[in-house]
């Protein structure tokens, strides 16, 4: 098929010197072959990433379970135990927040 010499002619280049470093030549090559740059990725805010982390189905179930636990614990607790009956549900909420923040920081 012509080997390296054919490739050199087809690409209009030189094996020792490379491509001609003129603006016209570089513009022509970019128009013909396209550019070789990665597209810029739009960055997202930390709060956006945190909101996305909270959209996990398991975390949604845990949030509902935490509020249900707090409501039932406080409603059914003895009067002397009501002051700390909410702790278990709150601990679940803290675990959900820690998990969500870690996921958001990792993505950030």
What are the tens digits of pLDDT across the range 41-98?
A: 888 899 999 999 999 999 999 999 999 999 999 999 898 888 888 999 999 999 999 9
3-state secondary structure of 67: helix
For 2-38, write each residue's pLDDT tens digit.
Answer: 888 888 888 778 888 877 777 788 888 888 888 888 8
Cβ proximity of 67 and 86 under 8 Å: no
Angle between helix 87-107 and 46-53 (nearest 10): 130
Domain ranges of the chain: 3-33, 46-107
Do residues 51 and 107 make contact, with C-beta atoms less than 8 angstroms apart? no
Distance, CA of 58 to CA of 40 (rounded, Å): 32
Helix (H, G, I), strand (E, B) or coil at 14: strand
Quick check: pTM over 0.95? Answer: no
């Amino acid at each position: 098929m012509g080997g390296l010499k054919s490739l050199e002619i087809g690409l209009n280049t030189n094996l020792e010197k490379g491509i001609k470093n003129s603006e016209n030549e570089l513009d022509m090559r970019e128009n013909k072959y396209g550019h070789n740059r990665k597209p810029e990725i739009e960055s997202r805010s930390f709060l956006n990433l945190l909101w996305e982390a909270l959209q996990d189905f398991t975390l949604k179930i845990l949030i509902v379970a935490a509020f249900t636990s707090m409501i039932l614990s406080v409603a059914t607790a003895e009067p002397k135990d009501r002051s700390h009956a909410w702790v278990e549900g709150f601990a679940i909420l803290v675990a959900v927040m820690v998990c969500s923040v870690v996921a958001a920081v990792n993505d950030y």
